[in-house]
């Protein structure tokens, strides 16, 4: 039988060993800076990407509070010292802290009115067409900058609901951007009244570009390791696929099966 005087040192040694286990962060409240980019991250902290982040962090025992800012400004705020982590970081982007593995993918492609009869299987199919895209698209999407001179016209605009206005108003032939984001702004547009065009026209999305990978940046190396570990577990058991499919289902009429295969 173990004597009481022997038990206490053994318990102390065990407690010390547990404290020294590497690669795990203490469970705590984590503030994540995220860009306001519906339906990936909505202003109220919901959304496809927000749900993925929350699910992974809670699996690790962490609670998440999102601080939502205009997209790209959230990177600058993190760089200035705000928050414990920052979302939607292009892989390799030089930000403080430690970058996680890829946890979310966006799917850029070409959206157009179904009745236009356009089938844009690659960039060459847009030759002679009027095209709009999100700001910075030509610097981000491989091959786009080289293809632009073949377009009838090309413009990048930051107002993404404005892109929906232009396609429904038949002022452009095609929109280049993430299919789910485009579909969400179409949904928002349908809630508006006194429009000079029909926002219920059918649109199609064709995923002609490779998916874009994004990681998280955390100030804590242990928190980064936690996130990677719990992400891998959630991916393996199908939890993350279920979240992504649920969000793709909301926009199935536009996306078909083109959005990352969901």
pLDDT in tens, the chain (262 residues): 444 444 444 444 444 433 343 344 556 899 999 999 999 999 999 999 999 999 999 999 999 999 999 999 999 999 999 999 999 999 999 999 999 999 999 999 999 999 988 789 999 999 999 999 998 899 989 999 999 999 999 999 988 999 999 999 999 999 999 999 999 999 999 999 889 999 999 999 999 999 999 999 999 999 999 999 999 999 999 999 999 999 999 999 999 999 999 9
Note whether residue 262 is domain-resident.
no
Query: Which domain does 47 fall in, by range?
Result: 26-105+214-255
Structural tokens at position 58: 């809670």
Residues 196 and 116 grouped into a single domain: yes
The pLDDT score that the predictor gives to residue 119 is 85
The pLDDT score that the predictor gives to residue 192 is 92
Note whether residue 11 is domain-resident.
no
3-state SS, residue 22? coil
Residues 177 and 99 grouped into a single domain: no
- 110 close to 206: Cβ distance less than 8 angstroms: yes
Residues 122 and 172 grouped into a single domain: yes
The pLDDT score that the predictor gives to residue 116 is 86
The pLDDT score that the predictor gives to residue 117 is 80
Note whether residue 14 is domain-resident.
no
Nearest to 152 by CA among 177, 133, 127: 127
Note whether residue 185 is domain-resident.
yes
What's the farthest any 2 CA atoms get from each other in the chain?
A: 88
Number of structural domains the chain divides into? 2
Note whether residue 143 is domain-resident.
yes
The pLDDT score that the predictor gives to residue 23 is 44
Note whether residue 96 is domain-resident.
yes
Residues 99 and 112 grouped into a single domain: no
Residues 112 and 236 grouped into a single domain: no
Sign of CA dihedral 223, 228, 233, 234: positive
Question: Which single residue is written with the structure tokens 């299987």?
Answer: 121
Note whether residue 3 is domain-resident.
no
Residues 117 and 192 grouped into a single domain: yes
Residues 130 and 199 grouped into a single domain: yes
Pairing relationship of beta strands 203-206 and 108-113 according to DSSP bridges: antiparallel
CATH (domain of 150) = 3.40.190.10
């Amino acid at each position: 039988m173990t004597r009481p005087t022997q038990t206490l040192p053994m318990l102390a040694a065990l407690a010390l060993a547990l404290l020294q286990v590497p690669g795990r962060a203490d469970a705590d409240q984590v503030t994540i800076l995220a860009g306001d980019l519906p339906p990936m991250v909505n202003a109220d902290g919901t959304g496809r990407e927000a749900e993925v982040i929350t699910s992974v962090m809670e699996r690790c025992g962490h609670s998440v509070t999102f601080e939502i800012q205009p997209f790209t400004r959230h990177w600058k705020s993190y760089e200035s010292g705000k928050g414990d982590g920052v979302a939607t970081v292009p892989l390799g982007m030089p930000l403080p802290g430690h970058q996680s593995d890829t946890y979310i993918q966006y799917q850029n492609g070409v959206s157009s009115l179904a009745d236009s009869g356009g089938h844009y299987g690659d960039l060459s199919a847009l030759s002679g067409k009027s095209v709009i895209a999100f700001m910075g698209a030509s610097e981000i999407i491989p091959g786009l900058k080289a293809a632009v001179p073949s377009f009838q016209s090309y413009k990048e605009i930051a107002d993404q609901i404005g892109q929906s206005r232009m396609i429904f108003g038949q002022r452009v032939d095609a929109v280049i951007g993430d299919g789910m984001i485009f579909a969400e702004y179409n949904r928002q547009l349908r809630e508006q009244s006194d429009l000079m065009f029909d926002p219920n026209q059918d649109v199609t999305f064709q995923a002609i570009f490779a998916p874009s990978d994004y990681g998280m940046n955390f100030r804590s190396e242990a928190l980064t390791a936690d996130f990677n570990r719990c992400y891998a577990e959630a991916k393996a058991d199908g939890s993350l696929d279920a979240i992504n499919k649920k969000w793709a289902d909301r926009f199935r009429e536009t996306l078909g099966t083109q959005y990352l295969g969901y």
